[in-house]
């Protein structure tokens, strides 16, 4: 039997009344352990939809499903006994990634609608989980035997949405972002250990070469994740891919970074496939990967590449516990003993260490020149990070301002890495501070003095 698409000129038959009269609504709700964009993809991409559309045991060998308003729908489901069930319709509303409205119905052997439903699918995300609601309203019941199909609709759709969970689990996680930075800078950020340590992880043995094996360890919520990776593909300035597994656990996945130049901007697409091969443990839940990559790419990498020309970054490791280094930085009785480059002293007029609090101090240079400074604390995350808006100048000279972030990373019980990041309003202002005030060397000397003072902190 040849299946025809819906005829443009359908003969309208008298509507029938049954236990499911016109106007009947079915509402089905399901929750998926996946971000909304992923569930939306599974519901709107034909290759994914064909894997779950229909009751258990059914397949969809024909799936014409182009999710655009006005586009026609044509799907053929095949039952386990080989019977084929064609369906036609069209897309009414497509609002990614939250709402999809379609008109669909079963077709008879002539390609005419036997009945028609309006389906309204909505997706709501919370805590990296997605609630799907399918509201289906019967608009027409045309064919005399339509009732038997309508009667099985709810059970069939329920089973379809159950099958959707298995498909969502296997779809590779993908995130795309556009950065205000050239491809060369973004490529450097994802392929050089020094740059990667700024937004990603410390990977000292990383080389952008096929076959390179590298390792990094991350502690999160009491779990130690020992990552073992091997680079499988490198296309300079365009693509880098590497396997990703966890030592001591089954499963292996693949991470792929792809870069696309858009003038002076760069589109990055990250794909992480094979997550379903990891053990079914909370620590390996898909939502954790989604949250992690979303922050790393959408915040960490974005911040780094878009501000690279406006920042000064200095770091140093200290043989001292994190709590002790934090105390040295936040207690004015300690700060007064080490703050500033070699040969400088400091008078602290006020240090109100709280979000919104002011820090006013005057630095006294070895040549007798004074440098008044005024800062406002913007963020305090004990014992990890301090962010403050800083303003300062040479007495009688022009002023400078920047946002300073001091980070305190616990490397071991008695080892801490302190990093200083200063972001200026513009690249010329950053260059001025480097040239006129020797900010880079001054920052290094300040951390050197901190190291000399730490043994005396009680």
Q: What is the pLDDT along the chain (458 residues), one digit of tens a residue?
A: 334 444 443 433 434 444 568 899 999 999 998 889 899 999 999 999 999 999 999 999 999 999 999 999 999 999 999 999 999 999 999 999 999 999 999 999 999 999 999 999 999 999 878 999 999 999 999 887 777 788 889 999 999 999 999 999 899 999 999 999 999 999 999 999 999 999 999 998 999 999 999 999 998 777 899 999 999 999 999 999 999 999 999 999 999 999 999 999 999 999 999 999 999 998 998 888 988 999 999 999 999 999 999 999 999 999 999 999 999 999 999 999 999 999 999 999 999 999 999 999 999 999 999 999 999 999 999 999 999 999 999 998 888 999 999 999 999 999 999 999 999 999 999 999 999 889 999 999 999 999 999 999 98
- Is residue 379 one of the residues assigned to a domain? yes
Q: Indicate whether 166 and 246 sit together in one domain.
A: no
End residue of a domain, out of 255, 273, 308: 308
Q: Indicate whether 338 and 442 sit together in one domain.
A: yes
Report the pLDDT value the prediction gives residue 228, as an integer from 0 to 100.
Answer: 97
DSSP states of 48-106 as a string?
HHTTT-SSTT-EEEEEEE--STT-EEEEEEE-TTS-EEEEEEEEEEEETTTEEEEEEEE
Report the pLDDT value the prediction gives residue 9, as an integer from 0 to 100.
Answer: 38
Kindly give, in sequence order, each residue whose CB lies less than 8 Å from that of residue 41, ignoring residues fewer than 6 positions away: 48, 171
Q: Indicate whether 325 and 452 sit together in one domain.
A: yes
Phi, psi of 135 (to 5 degrees): -110, 115
- Is residue 1 one of the residues assigned to a domain? no
Q: Indicate whether 208 and 249 sit together in one domain.
A: yes
End residue of a domain, out of 275, 308, 341: 308
Q: Indicate whether 85 and 190 sit together in one domain.
A: no
Alpha helices for 171-257 (secondary structure H): 183-191, 193-199
Kindly give, in sequence order, each residue whose CB lies less than 8 Å from that of residue 395, ignoring residues fewer than 6 positions away: 369, 370, 371, 372
Q: Indicate whether 166 and 181 sit together in one domain.
A: no
Report the pLDDT value the prediction gives residue 290, as an integer from 0 to 100.
Answer: 87
Report the pLDDT value the prediction gives residue 120, as an integer from 0 to 100.
Answer: 98
End residue of a domain, out of 251, 276, 308: 308
The tokens for 194 are 């020094």
Q: Indicate whether 283 and 330 sit together in one domain.
A: no
- Is residue 385 one of the residues assigned to a domain? yes
Q: Where do the DSSP E strands lie in 203-279?
A: 213-220, 223-235, 239-246, 253-262, 265-273
Q: Indicate whether 350 and 246 sit together in one domain.
A: no
CATH number at residue 187: 3.30.530.20
Report the pLDDT value the prediction gives residue 13, as an integer from 0 to 100.
Answer: 40
Q: How many folded domains does the chain comprise?
A: 3
Q: Indicate whether 369 and 420 sit together in one domain.
A: yes
Phi, psi of 411 (to 5 degrees): -90, -30
Q: In what order do the strands lie in the sheet with 99-106?
A: 25-32, 129-141, 115-126, 99-106, 84-95, 72-78, 59-65
Parallel, antiparallel or unpaired: strands 265-273 and 253-262: antiparallel
Q: Using alpha carbons only, what angle is made at residue 316 by residues 227 and 340, rounded to the nearest 5 degrees?
A: 155
Q: Indicate whether 31 and 165 sit together in one domain.
A: yes
Q: Indicate whether 203 and 146 sit together in one domain.
A: no
What stretch of H or E contains 436? Answer: helix 427-437
Distance CA 299, CA 390 (A): 22
Q: Indicate whether 299 and 338 sit together in one domain.
A: no
Closest CA to 339 of 456, 451, 449: 449
Parallel, antiparallel or unpaired: strands 358-364 and 370-381: antiparallel
Report the pLDDT value the prediction gives residue 244, as an integer from 0 to 100.
Answer: 98
Report the pLDDT value the prediction gives residue 19, as an integer from 0 to 100.
Answer: 58
Report the pLDDT value the prediction gives residue 7, as an integer from 0 to 100.
Answer: 42
Report the pLDDT value the prediction gives residue 186, as an integer from 0 to 100.
Answer: 98
- Is residue 438 one of the residues assigned to a domain? yes
What stretch of H or E contains 306? Answer: helix 302-307
Is the backbone of residue 427 left (phi > 0), alpha (psi -120 to 50) or beta?
alpha
- Is residue 20 one of the residues assigned to a domain? no
Closest CA to 346 of 336, 331, 356: 336
Structural domain range at position 203: 173-308
Distance CA 457, CA 436 (A): 33
Report the pLDDT value the prediction gives residue 416, as an integer from 0 to 100.
Answer: 97
How far from chain centre, in Å, is Cα 355?
A: 28
- Is residue 245 one of the residues assigned to a domain? yes
Report the pLDDT value the prediction gives residue 4, as an integer from 0 to 100.
Answer: 42
- Is residue 6 one of the residues assigned to a domain? no
Q: Which residues of 425-453 are buried (b: 16+ CB within 10 A; e: fewer)?
A: eeeeebeebeeebebeebbbbbbebbbee
Predicted TM-score (pTM) of this structure: 0.75
Report the pLDDT value the prediction gives residue 128, as an integer from 0 to 100.
Answer: 77
- Is residue 14 one of the residues assigned to a domain? no
């Amino acid at each position: 039997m040849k299946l025809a698409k819906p005829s443009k000129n359908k003969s309208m038959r008298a509507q029938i009344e049954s236990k499911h009269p016109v106007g009947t609504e079915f509402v089905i709700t399901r929750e998926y352990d996946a971000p909304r964009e992923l569930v939306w993809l599974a519901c709107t991409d034909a290759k994914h939809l064909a894997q779950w559309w229909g009751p258990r045991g059914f397949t969809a060998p024909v799936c014409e499903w182009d999710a655009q308003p006005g586009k026609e729908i044509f799907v053929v489901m095949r039952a386990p006994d080989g019977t084929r069930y064609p369906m036609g319709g069209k897309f009414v509303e497509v609002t990614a990634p939250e709402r999809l409205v379609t008109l669909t119905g079963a077709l008879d052997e002539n390609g005419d609608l036997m009945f028609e439903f309006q389906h309204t699918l909505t997706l709501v995300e919370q805590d990296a989980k997605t609630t799907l609601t399918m509201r289906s309203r019967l608009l027409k019941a045309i064919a005399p035997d339509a009732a038997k199909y309508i009667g099985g609709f709810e059970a069939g759709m329920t089973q379809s949405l159950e099958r959707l969970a298995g498909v969502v689990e296997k779809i590779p996680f993908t995130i795309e972002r556009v950065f205000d930075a050239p491809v060369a800078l973004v490529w450097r950020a994802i392929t050089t250990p020094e740059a990667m340590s700024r937004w990603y992880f410390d990977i000292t043995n990383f080389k952008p070469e096929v076959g390179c094996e590298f390792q990094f360890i991350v502690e999160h919520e009491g779990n130690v994740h020992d990552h073992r990776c091997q680079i499988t593909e490198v296309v300079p300035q365009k693509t880098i891919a590497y396997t990703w597994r966890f030592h001591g656990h089954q499963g292996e996945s693949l991470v792929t970074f792809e870069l696309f130049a858009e003038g002076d901007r760069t589109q990055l697409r990250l794909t992480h496939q094979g997550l379903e091969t990891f053990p079914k443990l909370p620590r390996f839940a898909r939502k954790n990967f989604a949250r992690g990559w979303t922050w790393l790419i959408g915040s960490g990498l974005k911040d780094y590449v878009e501000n690279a020309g406006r920042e000064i970054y200095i770091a140093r490791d200290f043989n001292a516990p994190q709590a002790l280094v934090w105390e040295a930085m936040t207690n004015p009785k300690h700060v007064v003993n080490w703050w500033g480059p070699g040969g400088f002293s400091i008078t602290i007029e006020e240090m109100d260490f709280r979000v919104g609090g002011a820090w006013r101090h005057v630095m006294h240079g070895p040549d007798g020149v004074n440098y008044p400074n005024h800062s406002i604390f913007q963020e305090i995350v004990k014992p990890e990070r301090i962010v403050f808006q800083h303003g300062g100048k040479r007495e009688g000279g022009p002023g400078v301002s920047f946002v300073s972030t001091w980070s305190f990373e616990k490397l071991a019980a008695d080892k801490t890495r302190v990093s200083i990041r200063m972001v200026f309003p513009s690249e010329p202002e950053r260059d001025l501070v480097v040239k006129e005030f020797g900010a880079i060397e001054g920052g290094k000397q300040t951390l050197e003095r901190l190291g000399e003072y730490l043994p005396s902190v009680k």
